């Protein structure tokens, strides 16, 4: 019976072995061997109190049984009774001084008590007794790693691998050590070997992903993290790792999906919540938030919309964003409001906001470009009022002209109104003493840094807040052009642009550094708001374009000419004297 019990025990069939051991101790209650074996089975089944009782009886029957004291020490250690465990290990060693297993167990207990130096000495004694004792080498490697004695730890891990070349855990821990040492290639090689030994373990594929990420192999890292999630589908951290590497690859939607899955399995994790929000923030431009806080903009649009809407109105809100202007139109009494938002995530949020505010019966949000809409398919009928706010700091950069043209031609009634009604672009020639050295870069602190200009786009408009800058105006603000959205000029052809000239009279003498531009937004015939310095609007800023040519002089008796060309809808160029070209808002149709 004992042989049968041992065979089952060694095969891991503990629940079958346990009744046999119990029968044996009943049949031979004076057998220390049987009680010791019963204790081993109970300990392996984590039935620690019963295991301790069995070992105690084994020791009672044979006080010289060193193995019994060692085993009881292990059980007491697992129960957190460290002082008693140490007593039994020491008793075992007094009975059997050449007992490396007891020394190894004593060392682990000493480490748990924070006595690391004594633990290291004890392990070294165990290895002196048995140089091929695998567990002692492995524990010594771990302890040395904890003390950051990395080279010594490497030696012990390598020795452990010599003793057991196919041991998964040693490969994994050695890889961890290489990671701590930032030896990525070595860590990768060891982790890969561990993955070959135990390909079913998700933790090792997660580690492979980390080291590949550290090596800059983001695509391969993502593949390892994906495999981790497949092997462990509820591992929230693996989804976080996957999301991070997908984000680096600009796979935004997939990254967000990974973070959402992570949050599904760990819903209270604030770090995951933050990472998900950061990923989602990339789906829309950050200017949406300060735009919503622009009270003058909000109030101006509200007043204009309320004046324009009647109970039969069908309002088309192009670029609805959060749906704020659509909500204003619905609250003002519009019969039907259609909000158009080409960004699908933002359209989904707008739909949620509309439902939250109780206007889902009158507001429909469509996730498309307005130029893709078809009457009879997307819209039941043409719109009576077009509302939009698709202007950047330079007016034209978000494609307001082609968008409004298309809407008036294809989506609106002939009598439709537009908010805003018009826009006037204002410009002023200025000096920027503090900014000029960088536009273009020449000499800085006595060094020639001009090669950096290769990375600067000379046509780029720079957002600026004149109130915060040291500048000198060289002329009065002047109108560059005026656009009435209900009476837009014919669509220009690239080969035949619209042209006009503006003579600028200087108010003082000086060298022209840049043209600063802002605009007046005419929401209707009565409501006008400005993005200029001192203007009502806070969301928009001014933009500047620096002229590269030096010695562009203006004076009260020496005016300059601005040559304005509108080449295509959304692309306007302005030249000042000597053909210095200024691009204002580039967007092709």
Is residue 588 pLDDT above 70, yes or no? no
- Say if CB 504 and CB 430 are below 8 A apart: no
Q: Which CATH number fits domain 167-283: 3.90.1150.10, 3.40.50.970, 3.30.420.40, 1.25.40.10?
A: 1.25.40.10
Cα dihedral 139, 142, 144, 146 in deg (nearest 10): -140
Is residue 582 pLDDT above 50, yes or no? no
Is residue 586 pLDDT above 50, yes or no? no
Kindly state the average pLDDT of the residues 452-467: 87
Structure tokens at 550: 């030096």
Phi, psi dihedrals of residue 554, rounded to the nearest 5°: -125, 145
Query: Per residue in 250-301, pLDDT tens?
Result: 999 999 999 999 999 999 999 999 999 999 988 888 878 888 899 999 999 9
Query: Per residue in 200-246, pLDDT tens?
Result: 999 999 999 999 999 999 999 999 999 999 999 999 999 999 999 99
Which of 301-305, 376-380, 562-566 has the weakest average pLDDT? 562-566
Q: What is the pTM of this model?
A: 0.74
Say what the pLDDT of residue 581 is. 36
Kindly state the average pLDDT of the residues 337-355: 96
- Say if CB 23 and CB 1 are below 8 A apart: yes
481 pLDDT tier (thresholds 50, 70, 90): confident
CATH of domain 288-389: 3.40.50.150
Is residue 429 pLDDT above 80, yes or no? yes
Q: Cis link prior to 440 (omega < 30° from 0)?
A: yes
- Say if CB 559 and CB 509 are below 8 A apart: no
Is residue 508 pLDDT above 90, yes or no? yes
State the architecture of 422-584 in CATH terms: Distorted Sandwich (2.70)
Task: Locate the domains of the chain by residue range.
Answer: 167-283, 288-389, 422-584
CA pair distance 409, 418, nearest whole angstrom: 13
48 pLDDT tier (thresholds 50, 70, 90): confident
Q: Which residues, listed in sequence order, are joined to residue 448 by a DSSP beta bridge?
A: 443
Kindly state the average pLDDT of the residues 368-378: 94
Helix then strand then coil, % of the chain, to nearest 5: 50, 20, 30
8 pLDDT tier (thresholds 50, 70, 90): confident
Angstrom distances, CA of residue 562 to CA of 267, 305, 495, 579: 60, 36, 20, 9
SS3 labels along 151-211: HHHHHHHHHHHHHCCCCHHHHHHHHHHHHHCCCHHHHHHHHHHHHHHCCCCHHHHHHHHHH
Which of 315-329, 452-466, 513-527 has the weakest average pLDDT? 452-466
CA pair distance 344, 350, nearest whole angstrom: 10
Angstrom distances, CA of residue 223 to CA of 102, 219, 271, 326, 577: 44, 6, 23, 43, 58
Structure tokens at 505: 């009279």
Is residue 579 pLDDT above 70, yes or no? no
The gap from C-alpha 208 to its chain's centroid, in whole angstroms, comes to 21
Structure tokens at 405: 């043209």
Say what the pLDDT of residue 498 is. 72
Helix (H) or strand (E) holding 239: helix 236-248
Kindly state the average pLDDT of the residues 420-437: 94
């Amino acid at each position: 019976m004992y042989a049968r019990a041992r065979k089952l025990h060694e095969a891991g069939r503990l629940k079958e072995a346990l009744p046999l051991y119990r029968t044996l101790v009943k049949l031979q209650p004076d057998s220390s061997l049987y009680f010791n074996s019963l204790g081993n089975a109970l300990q392996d089944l984590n039935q620690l109190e019963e295991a301790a009782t069995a070992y105690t009886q084994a020791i009672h029957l044979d006080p010289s049984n060193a193995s019994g004291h060692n085993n009881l020490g292990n059980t007491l250690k697992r129960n957190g009774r460290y002082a008693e465990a140490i007593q039994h290990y020491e008793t075992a060693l007094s009975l059997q001084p050449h007992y490396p297993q007891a020394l190894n167990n004593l060392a682990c207990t000493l480490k748990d008590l924070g006595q690391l130096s004594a633990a290291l000495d004890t392990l070294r004694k165990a290895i002196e007794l048995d140089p091929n004792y695998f567990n002692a080498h492995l524990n010594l490697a771990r302890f040395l790693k904890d003390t950051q004695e990395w080279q010594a730890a490497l030696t012990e891990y390598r020795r452990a691998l010599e003793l057991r070349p196919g041991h998964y855990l040693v490969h994994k821990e050695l890889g961890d050590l290489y990671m701590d040492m930032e030896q990525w290639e070595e860590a990768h090689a060891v982790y890969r070997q561990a993955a070959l030994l135990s390909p079913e373990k998700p933790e090792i594929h997660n580690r492979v992903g980390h080291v590949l990420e550290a090596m800059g192999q983001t695509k391969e890292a993502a593949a390892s993290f994906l495999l981790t999630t497949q092997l462990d589908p509820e591992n929230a951290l693996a989804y976080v790792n996957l999301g991070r590497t997908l984000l680096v690859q600009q796979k935004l939607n997939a990254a967000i999906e990974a973070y959402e899955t992570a949050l599904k399995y760990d819903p209270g994790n604030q770090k995951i919540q933050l990472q998900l929000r950061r990923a989602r923030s990339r789906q829309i431009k950050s200017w949406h938030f300060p735009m919503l806080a622009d009270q003058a903009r909000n109030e101006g649009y509200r007043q204009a919309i309320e004046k324009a809407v009647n109970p039969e109105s069908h309002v088309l809100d192009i670029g609805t964003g959060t749906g704020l202007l659509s909500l204003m139109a619905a609250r003002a009494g519009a019969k039907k409001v259609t909000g158009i938002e080409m960004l699908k995530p933002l359209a989904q949020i707008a739909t949620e906001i509309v439902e939250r505010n109780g206007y889902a019966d009158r507001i429909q949000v469509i996730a498309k470009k307005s130029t893709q809409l078809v009457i009879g398919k997307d819209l039941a009928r043409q719109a009576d009022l077009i509302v939009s706010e698709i202007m950047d700091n330079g007016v034209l950069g978000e494609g307001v002209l082609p968008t409004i043209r298309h809407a008036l031609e294809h989506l609106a009634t002939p009598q439709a109104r537009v908010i805003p009604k018009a826009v006037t672009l204002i410009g002023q020639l200025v000096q920027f003493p503090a900014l000029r050295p960088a536009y273009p870069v020449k000499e800085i602190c006595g060094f020639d840094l001009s090669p950096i200009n290769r990375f600067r786009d000379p046509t780029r408009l720079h957002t600026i807040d004149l109130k915060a800058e040291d500048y000198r105006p060289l002329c009065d603000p002047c109108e560059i052009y005026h656009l009435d959205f209900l009476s837009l000029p014919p669509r220009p052809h690239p080969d035949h642009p619209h042209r006009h000239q503006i003579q600028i009279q200087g108010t003082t003498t000086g060298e022209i550094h840049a043209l600063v531009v802002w605009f007046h937004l005419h929401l209707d015939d009565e409501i006008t708001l400005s993005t200029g310095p001192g203007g009502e609007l806070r969301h928009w800023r001014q933009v500047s374009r620096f002229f590269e040519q030096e010695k562009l002089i203006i004076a009260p008796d020496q005016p300059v000419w601005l040559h304005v060309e509108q080449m295509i809808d959304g692309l306007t160029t302005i030249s000042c004297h000597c053909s210095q070209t200024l691009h204002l808002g580039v967007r092709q149709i």
